[in-house]
Structure 1
């Protein structure tokens, strides 16, 4: 006879998010199969004889009132169909309904939402209103959530003990650690038994890293952002693929990163592409797949030119081998310099700095502090005893 847990795949096609109560904001990846959710007061759950023997895939969610146990079944539905089966376990009997993914759903007094793993949360889910408590309740939740996330997975439930060191538990712990700021991050388990917290920028990365170290997760969780990862990848490429003409590794979705390579300057046959993909998968343990995307050098070139022209920034091109530099040159004021630097930053975030580079070459105004105007007349003092009068028409 096959054990019940053998019927459950390690594939985790969905993620559930708790929208209210003590665990508001906690998320759990859902394995394919049937997951049981026990919802109720933690004081009652802690009683030794409260539950019979429960299945292995059981998650406890504390809720002070209107708790309704339920099951979510994910093995018969593809994430792409937009619906999922939810079976409520009430005293009056069971009831099955199909709920829309990425949409807030009420099960008794509990608010939840389920999405496909590759999707981002919808605005309706992220803006789901918190009921009651006010600022004081929100402040108290900041202190209670870490402990309650642990309680949700382990207290007094035999079936939940197996979840203690699973991705569901660790992800919930890290989400609780980030508190009200968790929407700024994405947490992924790595194949190397580490967890990766993706930040949007350096400031967020430093904040999350400090929080992780302070709470004792310095060794088990790594906090990274796209720029830091690209620096690491660049160093690795310089050693292992020094001739590869690539632009940038895009981590908009870190589960499926995209490596942009030059269509004109890169010749990857099937064997080389496979070897490169396998190498990147080993280098990026949080990725489920890596896409190698050929892009046109002409597109990169035209976007640089059009971006500078659109902002009325003077420039000229300087080519040297496979490198191309756009030199921004002229008598620029502070506003124009700021506008140029902002464009360069945006361009490099998309295309990187390996093929097209930018330089700023400022020229001084030779007439600064030498030109004067009175009424409609003006003159330039070119020497101590020389004045050039100009009558602008």
Structure 2
């Protein structure tokens, strides 16, 4: 099977999985906000977490682009489960690249099959965009490190099994004094805090983590000491393209719901789609989706070619455009549907709530503008 036919086959499997399993699970996720363990297990059985995992770890060994395409498709049905799916690849990247071989061999296959839920934890109460402000400390001791501190906003933190945790090993060195560690839940001193009651993404818990003198063996450090910031950067471009793609999928789903509604809803003797004011609005929203998608696909192309410089620039542009577009599109789609758009009987209001998160994580719009401006100062216009 060629790479193209395999990609088509995988995406067809993703679409079927969304129809048969994700869609029926949404009502319970919205009602309870509980993590969908059964849905996660089904995704693992289908091999969805294996897509870009190297074959030596039991994966399919495809490139890093296919999981991003899959996450966009899942987000058309459930942005919340799309984040859970995308988080898996984001966590595996630094483990595969930087973990000791025997550690990676013991953990990656279990994550790839869906039997272990992975998490990545960097943010803290006083350290979000300003990573160098983190206060969690990893103090060197005989045979390893003692980890002390508190983390926030950890995706799937309350259900996770294995965590990539970033901590200061040189408190005076800013971002150059951060190291990354692999910590499995269950070790002494590692406790889960509360889940944040977020506006959207129900069923995708965002959690507090507490580390109280947790011993981490030196073998569980990822990469060299004080290399943590560089390790975080390994995943950032793909994570931003992931956020952009999931926002794109969310907006696409919302506009399709509004389009169908506008064709069916009758006012003043004809479908509301035939009223020019509404017709033009829907056309504008469709154009915004297509423009944003073009930039996102250009970023995926750079990622697939391994052009790191181009990928970094386009990842920031795509995240800025796609996430801001998604908030506008989903909000307007609720408006198009009027009171029906506000009803939880329809998906439009859920998609509107979910879309907001994509603007915030992996770098806010303000951070993306800053990064784009830095690129312009250093390298000029992004004409590739």
- What TM-score do you get using the length of structure 2 for normalisation? 0.22
Higher helix share: 2
User: Which of the two has greater strand per residue?
Assistant: 1
Q: Normalising by the residue count of structure 1, what TM-score does the alignment of the two structures yield?
A: 0.22
Larger Rg: 1
